[in-house]
Structure 1
Amino acid sequence: MEIDIIGLISACSYALDCIEAELVNIKNKHGKRVAYISVRMGQYFDLPEDALQDLAICALLHDNALTQYISEELQEHSAADLTADLVANTTNLHCIYGEQNLAKIPFKTDVTNAILYHHEHADGTGPFHKKWNEVPLSARIIHLADVVDIIGHSGAFETQRWDAVKQYLIRHTDKIFDAACVDAFFHAFSENEFADFKDDAFEDKLWEIVPREKQTFDWETCKNIANFFAQIVDYKSSFTSRHSIGVAEKAAAFAAYNGYDPTQVQKMYLAGALHDIGKMAIDNDILEKPDKLTDEEFSKMKNHAGYTYLILSNINDFEDIRDWAAFHHEKLNGKGYPFGKTAAELNEPERIMACIDIYQALTESRPYKQGFSHEKTCDILDDMADKGFIDAGIAQKIRVCFQNTTI
């Protein structure tokens, strides 16, 4: 299967930025700016093309474990304490989780410890107490780029922020940052180039350095990539701890049952894994409200499908997977969302995804409810089909397809 892997990871970085914005008010495109700063510094160090691409991927995903970290740590700490902890960078857990998660991503070079050590200090006072010469160059670069963007963003990348960046880097050379990386940054960037960040002029330059070309991956690799993104989405809310993976597995199983070819089955799995990526942009107060949502809250909740469409629109040649993923709340009678599609506008894979999403949501247990049985769920699907919401033929096939399954 061919995938624009850089585009997919870039799209995911937007979703991660939404999480970071909730916690520490980092502006959107934080991941992309960190990636651009990193690859420019990588060029100064004469890193080869493959290493630059892998550096960009690591930079885009440097905080990939934020949702996982938040989900698990909130069980032991208050939200206020957790936010303060993140701001102070005193924890190493999200670095550990993030490093483990990257095992699912295909790299061309060795990126070991690039995420694990991306908060280490040059003098060994960081979370793992590693000095700069014990930390891979990629981690040192990402660390500096991350801090530079945070400082720059706080003042909209104006002249005074450039001065603040310079003073901070110089003051902390050989303490927080190693001298070689500080030197690389000042060789790579001038005050004028720093100002480019305020109008997003940097993004086209990023893709010139790291071309977004489709690459062919075997199914196991594609599945690992899909699961990586699904895990990030599902950790966003404790209410949906395995929802995206469940939809992916059932969508693929049903597609195979329905006679789809292997490539279509794989695409259905990927669409299922990504169908709720837009929820990364929705506040957890809404996602995790056990009571009925107010009209205003429900309106915001409905935006998640539109965000899924927008996020996945930024991936080359991803239109079919995007639509299968984003249209999972559309209804045949035109009263679904986000686009109000009618039966004539919804193809079979889109109709399947809508039914599978409902089936998965009804059968899975959540903190406020027990999952329904297969038979009860299928009865509900039949009732929805009778009302003109979903495809009756697909609902009937689901009853047969999953009657003896443990997926």
Structure 2
Amino acid sequence: MVYNIHPINLFRALSLSLELSNGGLSHHHWRTAMISSRIGRSMNMMESQHEILVYTALLHDLGAASSWDERVKLRTFEVEDTIYDHAEVGYRLLKDSPILGVLAVYIRHHHDFYDGSSPSGLMGSEIPLISRIINVADRLDVLIDEEKYILGQKGSILSRLESLGGIYFDPEVIAALQTCSQQESFWLDLADTTYAQRFFDNVNQYGYTRFNVDDILDIAEIFAKIIDQTSSFTGAHSRNVAMISSFLAGLEGYSEEECKAIQIAGLLHDLGKLAVPKQLLEKTEKLVPREFDIIKQHAYYTYRILEQIDEFEVIAEWAAYHHETLDGRGYPFRMQEDRLKMGSRIVAVADIFAALTEDRSYRSLLSPSEVKKIMYSMVRHNKIDKKIVKNLFKNLDCVNHLVQTKIHT
């Protein structure tokens, strides 16, 4: 199974997941990528390096995605020693990846000070150029006040960055920024919410890349780790859902490649949970309606993010419809039974089983008999597929073994 994907569509979608909040999307990574691209062009960067620059900028704060406190802190211009923590986490998440590993070192050093005072000890040109550019672009975006007219801010923003040239920032990168930012369009593009699409369309010139299913699995595993770190109660949830889904798909006659595809869906099914504050995910009391509405958006965002990736239409449905029910009363799309493919039904059953067999903040651990009782009650009320549930409990020992093996590997 091969996926023909424009890399920019893949990176744009993954980047969008890093921008999620219950208040909307910030597009910090997108704007950082646009600024970085302009600076790179001004410095006559080689095309191959420019491509890596854009991809790295789109994922540069990957290491902070699972921590709302960290994400808020990074929106402040004045940096603290702890600003390097998320860069190191991002590096560790990516360094062993065959696909995304090329970005790891650049992410690791994207907050290094030019004068060598950072923990890495690197200074000047020892810091990768891509990292030096992203550092300036990132801090520029943080300085933008969205409540004020953009052209009225350019002088103060440039002065602030220029004052730190040779200390925080590479003077050559600052000089390149001064050149490209003379155009009013540089600033207006950052304020224009419609411009991002044109930017990505231009980057699409790099064309398609052929990813096999194992390439996508590798990327999905990285994001599953980030998703599951959003709560202390979901340390292996996405991976559990993925393994159970793949196993159940095999029982339904899916091929090995199709089982891997549904494993990808399981790994990414909660991608939209990056929009949900940790205090809601770990709340011990019953959620009030407004809080539950915030929770509901996660499946919607999972779909809207994954549908942007070329040839991901089926995976997007399998992943995002895990809270849809056969009676049409699920969320967020209220899908009727005839619209729910077998893959979506499998992920839904796997998600429910995994959630019921894991610790949760709002209840104690359930016994196997309690789990079975709850799931068969859902079958009787036409919520989930009876055949899949029967297969699950018929092969319960195998399912439990798979989960335990995954936890300890």
Letter in 2 for 1:135: I
Which of 12, 17, 20 aligns to 2:19? It is 17
Letter in 1 for 2:61: D
- Whether the 8 Å contact between 1:51 and 1:108 is mirrored in structure 2 is no
Answering whether residue 92 of structure 2 is matched by residue 90 of structure 1, we say no
Distance change (3 Å), C-alpha of 1:336 and 1:110: closer
The CA RMSD measured in Å over matched residues stands at 2.6
Q: Show structure 1 runs of 5+ residues with no match.
A: 72-78
- Which whole-Å CA distance do the structure 2 matches of 1:366 and 1:104 have between them? 31
| TM-aligned CA deviation for residue 402 of structure 1 | 3.3
- Whether the 8 Å contact between 1:236 and 1:284 is mirrored in structure 2 is yes
- Whether the 8 Å contact between 1:104 and 1:224 is mirrored in structure 2 is no
Deviates more, 1:365-374 or 1:155-164: 365-374
Answering whether residue 303 of structure 2 is matched by residue 312 of structure 1, we say no
| TM-aligned CA deviation for residue 154 of structure 1 | 4.7
Distance change (3 Å), C-alpha of 1:105 and 1:89: farther
Q: Which residue of 1 is the match for residue 406 of structure 2? A: none
Distance change (3 Å), C-alpha of 1:238 and 1:58: same
TM-score by length of 1: 0.88
- Which whole-Å CA distance do the structure 2 matches of 1:47 and 1:245 have between them? 39
Distance change (3 Å), C-alpha of 1:53 and 1:266: farther
How many pairs are equivalent? 394
Q: Show structure 2 runs of 5+ residues with no match.
A: 404-409
| TM-aligned CA deviation for residue 228 of structure 1 | 0.9
Distance change (3 Å), C-alpha of 1:63 and 1:157: farther
Q: Which residue of 2 is the match for residue 339 of structure 1? A: 333
| TM-aligned CA deviation for residue 257 of structure 1 | 2.6
Q: Which residue of 2 is the match for residue 275 of structure 1? A: 269
Letter in 2 for 1:94: H
Q: Which residue of 1 is the match for residue 354 of structure 2? A: 360
Which of 36, 42, 45 aligns to 1:44? It is 42
- Whether the 8 Å contact between 2:100 and 2:219 is mirrored in structure 1 is no
| TM-aligned CA deviation for residue 349 of structure 1 | 0.9
Q: Which residue of 2 is the match for residue 28 of structure 1? A: 26
Q: Which residue of 2 is the match for residue 191 of structure 1? A: 184
- Which whole-Å CA distance do the structure 2 matches of 1:375 and 1:100 have between them? 40
SS, match of residue 403 in structure 1: helix
- Which whole-Å CA distance do the structure 1 matches of 2:47 and 2:244 have between them? 38
- Residues 67-120 of structure 1, C-alpha deviation per residue, up to 9 Å, x if partnerless? 45x49xxxxxxx6x9965874242122111111112254459954521111111
Q: Which residue of 1 is the match for residue 366 of structure 2? A: 372
| TM-aligned CA deviation for residue 170 of structure 1 | 2.0
Identical pairs, percent: 31
- Whether the 8 Å contact between 1:354 and 1:390 is mirrored in structure 2 is yes
- Residues 125-150 of structure 1, C-alpha deviation per residue, up to 9 Å, x if partnerless? 33434312220001101101101111
- Which whole-Å CA distance do the structure 2 matches of 1:206 and 1:11 have between them? 11
TM-score by length of 2: 0.88
Deviates more, 1:153-162 or 1:263-272: 153-162
- Which whole-Å CA distance do the structure 2 matches of 1:109 and 1:255 have between them? 30
